Every structure is written in structure tokens, then in C-alpha cells.
């Protein structure tokens, strides 16, 4: 059984990515799973080439440092030729109406004076990611469910029209994982590409910066530590982060604090300790470019080998 997940290098890995996704990939993931840095997806809106390259490399280092099986990790652009070829075949299997119906496209394109065509077609690239690797399960939040449904429809259509090549993937709900909110605005989720990084803890932030950001986290005027996500989202967020770092329940943790100051200090220390080994190992990997290149090349080769027969079959059956 192959599970597939990705992280987009649109910013440095943040605490939410780590607690909600990367840490889980390290614990639950097997060598057959596919975890990749989706640098091609980071180009659907304006981007800076050297920053994109540096971020992809840094994210790769964080995944390996966090303990994700290196055999399951790759960088999407290392397969750009294979993915480009399959995307074209799938675009010739997909209708304009299907692409234009995607809610994310409507949301992200509205009000922009100019929209890259790739913003419209990126769900087809995502289908190529999934189908090329023969993924059975794609753990996704609600925002990506429609895209996996498209991949499903395209797999069925291709198989029915040309011959059985693709596994028909399923969107699955990821196991309940922490959903980390922005520290400065707890109504939003923590996001690596947020305009104002004051509310975002990055995995590679030095410990003192992590402490400062958490001490400044927005709470409320109620002055009582309770786990009440609706009424006290800022406090609930801190309790959830602390819970994710300590393996305890947010509700139980709330009883142990009387002031927000105590809660923030405990959360800051727990986060610093949780991130310390990942940060240190990431730094080591970034300081040893040859080793990181070797891991990357190996991941790319393994991923390419696994998908070659599927791409060859798809090209042959469509008459190419």
C-alpha cells in the first residue's frame, strides 16, 4: 500500500508542518510511501528561482533530519521530465470544465490581475504526481479533497479509454493530528508563507526566537487557562501545541496552569526541546552538501525506477 504526501517549498518548514505532517511521516511512513518536496507546485504563483532552490534543499534536509525514511523522500523536480510527460497525457484526458470547477482555483485566482495558466492546471500535475507513483491513499484536508477526486476520475477515464495502467487513488482523512494556529492570529492556521511571520514558528528558528514568538502569542482577556477552542482559540492553540509535544491531552494540561505566562513558558520550552534535535541534524545536513546530494539522488533514482513502467505504458497506449 502506497501513501503519498507532499510539502510545498513556498517558505521554510513551520511548526504546523512538523507536528501535523512531517513527524507523522517519520513515525508511520514506510519505504513504499512517497513523501516529496513539491517545488513544481511552488511555481504556480510568482516565485524567486534561487529562493525556491534553497527552500527545496532545506525542506529535504528537515524531512531527513526528522527521521522520514530517506528511501521514501524525493524532490518533485527531479522527476520533471516524467511528470511533464504524464501531465500532458492527463491534460488530454481532462476537460477545461473539470479544471475550472476547482474551488481552489476560483479562490486563488479571484481579484488577481494576471493568473498563471499553471494555477488552473496544477491539479492535473497533482494527478500526475499521484498516478505516476501508483499511490493508493492520499491523506488530505478538505481543501485538497476535490483534487484527489479529479485524480480518481482521470485514472478511471484513462484506464477505461486506453487500458488499465493506473491505480485508482483514494483521498483519506489523515489520522487526527495537531492543527496548529497562527500565534498572532489564532483564527488562521499557521502557514509557512504568511506575510507576517510573527505568528509562525519555523523549525529552524533559534531557541530564543521560538521563545519570543510564543511569549507574544495572542491570548484573550479572560485570564483563565481552560481548553475551550471556540471561546479561547489562542489559549487552546498553546495547549494543543504543548499536548502535541508532550503526548498529553490539552484538557488535562489546562488544569496544571493558573496564568497565561506559565502556559507560554511551558509551551515554549516544550517546543524548543521538540525541535532541538531536528534543527541540529538539519544544520549538519546542510553543512554537508555532498551527503544531502547523495540522499537526494538516491531518492530520485528510486522514485523514477518505480514509476517508469507506468509512464511507458501510458505513452504507448495513447499512441506515442
Q: How many residues bind ligand ADP (CB under 6 A)?
A: 18
Stretch that binds ligand ADP, among 90-98, 172-180, 271-279, 310-318 (CB under 6 A): 172-180
Query: Counting contacts by CB under 6 A, is residue 134 touching ligand ADP?
Result: no
Query: Counting contacts by CB under 6 A, is residue 210 touching ligand ADP?
Result: no
Active-site annotation holds for 189 = yes
Query: Counting contacts by CB under 6 A, is residue 191 touching ligand ADP?
Result: yes
Q: Which of 2, 3, 4, 8 binds ligand ADP (CB under 6 A)?
A: 8
Whole-angstrom Cα distance, residue 150 to residue 155? 9
Q: Which of 45, 109, 193, 318 binds ligand ADP (CB under 6 A)?
A: 193
Query: Counting contacts by CB under 6 A, is residue 44 touching ligand ADP?
Result: no
Active-site annotation holds for 213 = no
Shortest Cβ distance from residue 251 to ligand ADP (Å)? 19
Query: Counting contacts by CB under 6 A, is residue 5 touching ligand ADP?
Result: yes
Binding site for ligand ADP (CB under 6 A): 5, 7-8, 10, 14, 16-17, 20-21, 141, 178-180, 189-193
Catalytic positions, please? 108, 189, 192
Amino acid at each position: 500500500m502506497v501513501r503519498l504526501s507532499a510539502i510545498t517549498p513556498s517558505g521554510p518548514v513551520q511548526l504546523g508542518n512538523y507536528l501535523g505532517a512531517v513527524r507523522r511521516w517519520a513515525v508511520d511512513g514506510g519505504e513504499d510511501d512517497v513523501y516529496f518536496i513539491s517545488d513544481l507546485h511552488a511555481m504556480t504563483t510568482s516565485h524567486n528561482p534561487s529562493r525556491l532552490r534553497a527552500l527545496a534543499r532545506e525542506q529535504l534536509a528537515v524531512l531527513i533530519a526528522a527521521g522520514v525514511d530517506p528511501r521514501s523522500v524525493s524532490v518533485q523536480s527531479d522527476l520533471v521530465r516524467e511528470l511533464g510527460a504524464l501531465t500532458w497525457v492527463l491534460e488530454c484526458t481532462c476537460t477545461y470544465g473539470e479544471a475550472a470547477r476547482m474551488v481552489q482555483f476560483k479562490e486563488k485566482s479571484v481579484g488577481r490581475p494576471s493568473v498563471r495558466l499553471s494555477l488552473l492546471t496544477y491539479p492535473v500535475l497533482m494527478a500526475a504526481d499521484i498516478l505516476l507513483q501508483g499511490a493508493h491513499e492520499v491523506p488530505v484536508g478538505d481543501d485538497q479533497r476535490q483534487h484527489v477526486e479529479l485524480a480518481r476520475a482521470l485514472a478511471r477515464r484513462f484506464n477505461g479509454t486506453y487500458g488499465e495502467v493506473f491505480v485508482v487513488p483514494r483521498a483519506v482523512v489523515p489520522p487526527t493530528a495537531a492543527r496548529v494556529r497562527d500565534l498572532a492570529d489564532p483564527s488562521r492556521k499557521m502557514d509557512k508563507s504568511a506575510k507576517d511571520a510573527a505568528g509562525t514558528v519555523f523549525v529552524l528558528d533559534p531557541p530564543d526566537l521560538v521563545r519570543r514568538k510564543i511569549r507574544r502569542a495572542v491570548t484573550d482577556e479572560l485570564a483563565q487557562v481552560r481548553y475551550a477552542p471556540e471561546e479561547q482559540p489562542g489559549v487552546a492553540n498553546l495547549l494543543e501545541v504543548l499536548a502535541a509535544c508532550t503526548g498529553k491531552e490539552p484538557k488535562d494540561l489546562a488544569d496544571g496552569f493558573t496564568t497565561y505566562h506559565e502556559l507560554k513558558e511551558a509551551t515554549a520550552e516544550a517546543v524548543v526541546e521538540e525541535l532541538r534535535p531536528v534543527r541540529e541534524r538539519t544544520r549538519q545536513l546542510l553543512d554537508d552538501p555532498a551527503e544531502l546530494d547523495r540522499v537526494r539522488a538516491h531518492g530520485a533514482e528510486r522514485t523514477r525506477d518505480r514509476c517508469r513502467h507506468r509512464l511507458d505504458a501510458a505513452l504507448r497506449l495513447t499512441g506515442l
